[in-house]
Amino acid sequence: MVHPGGRPRKYDKKEVDDLLAKFEKYIKNTEIPIIVDFCAKNGIIKQTLYDYPEFSTLLKRCTEKKEANLEILTLKGSINAPMAIFSLKQLGWSDKKEVEHSGSLGVTIIDDIPDET
């Protein structure tokens, strides 16, 4: 929650521990867990989870479960593929290949045009 004046609320240890337990339960019981969904259901802003290092492992677990289940359910054809693709792209997936080149590219210029003189 945001205090009047725009400053984010500070949570004490008990509140953080309560949110940790709720977040862990949400991840366990939700097929495709979405961080902002959890936040909306618990009256907090997403940034709160990133501001407290205690949430870092759960944030990773949430994202990994979401990614895995989106892929599985899309392959099974049981969810909307374009929406799954959109969500997976937000997680870093790409549908294009990027090729990196390293080293130098040697260029040889051959002048085999006859002189006109």
Residue 60 and residue 92 in contact, taking contact as beta carbons nearer than 8 Å: no
- 8: which strand partners? 2
| pLDDT tens digits along 62-86 | 999 999 999 999 999 999 888 888 8
- The answer to whether residues 59 and 35 touch, using CB atoms and an 8 Å cutoff, is yes
* Amino acid in position 19: L
The whole model's pTM is what? 0.72
pLDDT digit string, tens, across residues 18-44: 999 999 999 999 999 999 999 999 999
Residue 94 Cα to chain centre, angstroms: 12
In the predicted model, is pLDDT for residue 6 greater than 80?
A: no
